[in-house]
Chains A and B, each alone.
Chain A
Amino acid sequence: MSYKSKPWLSLLAFSAPALLFYAIFLVYPTIGGFYYSLTDWNGLYKDYKFVGISNYIQALTSDPQFIHSLLYTLKYVVVIVILQNAIALCLALLIESRTKSKTLFRTLIFMPNMVSIYISTLMWAFIFSRVAPKLAEYTLLSFLDQGWVSTPNMAFLSTVIVTVWQGAGYLMIIYIAALQGVPKDLKEAATIDGASTFRRFYHIILPLVMPAITICVFLTLNSSFKIFEVVYALTGGGPGYSTEVIALNVYQEGFARDRQFGYATAKAMILFFMIIIITFVQVTVFKKKEVEA
């Protein structure tokens, strides 16, 4: 049986180990997830029955806490996507304008991204609870002395700070790579023609880094919809459930409240559909911009 005659056989043989793990621990649980979201499966009991889409209906019509987490997550996503990308792109532009110190700045600003998001959040919990009050003793910084997680607005701000701090470096790396792809002579030609810095950015650089913006916005949409660790470690969803994001709501539903695995999975599926629809629209719209540019 030579490989010329049966290429599909060796293809399957080489792919088998990967396929096996992938099928058991990802494909099967995904299909299982779809199925369980249509049942009243409860983690405590073995038996469960098919209930159709009633979990979805319940989540969207008679679960105010879930609706709240949905809207709160949307607010969080909008703020994070805009802030994180704006900051990362600005940093990339600033760093690319340097010559010798380029690597040093990139290395240091990217470093928080190497630390686990959960560990990062605990470091910030330390900063908020121990360091900020000390800093506030200097009169100029007195605004730092407040309960960073004790009101809904402050808790929101704290989670945004930690997320941006942890994630901006990653996007910055992608933007720097994109900026390095902008041909030098194009920039020089624009300068000779007398284009101002702003016009040069808007008309030359921005269109050429548009593909990177599409990717980075996609990545931030995808990750910020799934945010869990920062909220779990910093606010626990509180005060009350004001900062409870969808992932935390799903986790609590499954592990802390009534172990309603079927219902919790249905909520996670709603999150999944939202991510699919929103990222699809985003990529389509942004790709059009790329073509025009």
Chain B
Amino acid sequence: MLIISFFLPSGPKDAVNSTDENNRTDIGSGFSLADSEENNSYGTADQSAAAGSSVVTDSSAAAGNPAVTDHSSSADQSPAADDSRTGKGHPDKTNKGSVGSGMRSNRKSDSKESDQSGKADTGKSGTYKGVFSSGKSRSSKKPKDKQGRVLGKDKYQTDPVPSGKPVPVEPKDVDVNQNKKYTCTFSIRCDSILDHISLFDQDKLSVLPKNGTVFAAGTVAFSEGESVFDLLKRVTRDKKIQLEFEHVPIYNSAHIEGIHNLYEFDCGALSGWTYRVNQWFPNYGCSRYQVKDGDVVEWLYTCNLGKDVGNHYSVING
């Protein structure tokens, strides 16, 4: 359940609009909610029935009654509201349903605080998430780490994000706000090729920058809601730097094949482009990383799966 909370549409919006600390507390509350849900409903519940009911309550809310959830500002109030809607459900069902709506109401209140996003829209995606969460809850209980977070991969094969780091944001959930402009530091470098020049494709020496800098670190403006990929696309286009990418549906992100005609596998079988934001290598695709004001975004060419540019995640996880 926890992983699903990464995908709540309002979460991302919060991440854009609120400050860093706010963002974290939101996620934290999301976790505790998911946690309590697991404690309450699992074990005794007939899981498939519970899953089904969560769909029902969610869709009913989406179809007709967003106001109900809007009024319930905390998770405690929502069981009553759900009881009234689902009627004679058995206790497990209502319990499960309440969690679904609780999550939703939590989301709603968040979005009320921070954003003027359309309510109907949130309701719809709530339905979708409901279906999705039911699918998840059918599966066996996931192992958890010390903080009570579920271990395992999300829908797009992403491992849990370390605490304090921004969670992935699905590009389809984001509306880029052209009016709100921020700045970040952006650079594209390929120093590692210079250190591994013997591995490098000799036919491409003509495009290899002698100082390893494709795009020197500089301040770049971006609109609110833009991802690292959007930023890269725009900068390369403005600066007439060649870029080839491919959308990979299973990771829901663009895969950068080559920048400035320096392609993956040009410097050995373990080479390619990777990115780093604020000295952290995100463990998800660049289309899902939303840039925040003042971020330091770096695109780095690695010749050894990230180890040579300081990605210790890849070292630990093979």
Question: Are A and B interaction partners?
Answer: no
Q: What is B's interface to A at a CB cutoff of 8 Å?
A: none
Q: What is A's interface to B at a CB cutoff of 8 Å?
A: none
